[in-house]
Amino acid sequence: MKTVFVGLSGGVDSSVAAALLKEQGNQVVGVYMKNWSRDLPGMPCPWKDDYQDAKRVAVQLGIDFKMYDFEKDYQHKVVDYMLAEYRAGRTPNPDIMCNQEVKFKLFLETALEDGADMIATGHYAKTKDSKLYMAKDKNKDQTYFLYRVTKEALRKTIFPLGELTKPEVRKLAKKYNLVTADKKESMGICFVGKVGIKDFLKEYEKTRPGRIIDQHDKQVGEHDGAIFYTIGQRHGLDVGGGLPYYVVGKNMKKNEVYVTTDLQDEKLWSNTLNLTDAHWINEEPSSKATNLVVRTRHRAKLILVKSLSKPAPHQNVSKKVSNQILKHQAFGVGSSNTKWTVELGEEVRALTPGQSAVIYAEEQVLGGGIVV
């Protein structure tokens, strides 16, 4: 019998994961991770409700229940990192950082010290022999958010939902009569429930209006803060008349946002990915590999990788990439000091600095890096 500590978030997925593990004969302990509790004006943080739902599920299942308070670590490792990236004009993914630094590092280490043999979460993913694979439910697959997990962490991790679809999970929740069976999924930022990123940033950043400039170097409008805009964005620009505008760049020092009405604008499209701070779960992929595909954002289609390469050790990376790496290392993102170049089989729209690109060999997740 294994002692498995399950991360109970108060949602249906982690609830079913705990139920399945108990049914399989494990000694299960439910753990609620308190990562964030700050209320925002008019938008109370839902952590107390989630905590109570997690506790109710533990009572229903007859398992022990604990709360780990990771709020200080979370502020530094995830929130501070996210804010620094936005201030630099990039668009980070806090869910990926949360998985790397909190769920599969801090939670894992704390649980093992507390008597666990393994940990488990409600992620839709599969692991075998310390390798990470896509879930059966390709629509819910969450491996994009898990690519920075280590093989050592995977060796101690169980994903009970890997072979299930979301409808099957809902059906099991009703079968077990769980209080979370009909609970809606939380959308928005990973740690503040329904709050959108713009509302969150407004609480931390003093912004000022600035110019929106089109492809002809003409001012076409005014924005409310360059920090709020991301590459490829179309909505929320408030630039009236004629063709829709797309964000193609921004200058944080000048507080300017650059747009185009030309959907074929070369600034919007690229068939080359430059990545920094690469993380490979098991080993670096071979430059001769022929079966690789890449995903440039969650639920985006998989794109064929024509080639994958990195500079030789004696080659210098560009100043831009070096600065990017230093910024990431300040928040413990990783230790890579080289960039990887990925040549794509087709052009991709709106590659966004700060986002992640994840590389797969068929259904196995090899790893990935952060878009420069």
Active site residue 45: no
Strands 356-361 and 340-349: unpaired
- Measured CA to CA in angstroms, residue 197 lies from 64, 194, 200 at distances of 35, 10, 5
Marked catalytic residue, from 33, 98, 248, 348: 98
Q: CB-based burial of residue 348 (10 Å sphere; 0-12 exposed, 13-18 middle, 19+ buried)? A: buried
Cβ atoms of 124 and 162 within 8 Å: the answer is yes
Q: Which residue do the tokens 């509302």 mark?
A: 199
322 Cβ neighbours under 8 A, 6+ residues apart? none
CB of 145 within 8 A of CB of 95? yes
Q: What angle do CA 122, 105, 30 make, to 5 degrees?
A: 40
Candidates 134, 190, 201, 359; catalytic one: 190
Dist. CA 297–CA 2, nearest whole Å? 36
Q: Is 285 helix (H, G, I), strand (E, B) or coil?
A: coil
Helix 47-61 / helix 12-23 crossing angle, nearest 10 deg: 20
Paired with 76 in beta bridges are none
Instruction: Give the integer Cα–Cα distance in Å for 170 and 181.
Output: 6
Q: Would you mind telling me the total number of residues written for the chain in this entry?
A: 372
Beta strand 157-158 pairing with 246-251: unpaired
DSSP symbol at 43: B
Helix, strand counts (H, E) of the chain: 10, 17
Q: What is the dihedral of CA 328, 332, 337, 342, to 10 degrees?
A: -60
Give the residue numbers marked as catalytic.
Answer: 98, 190
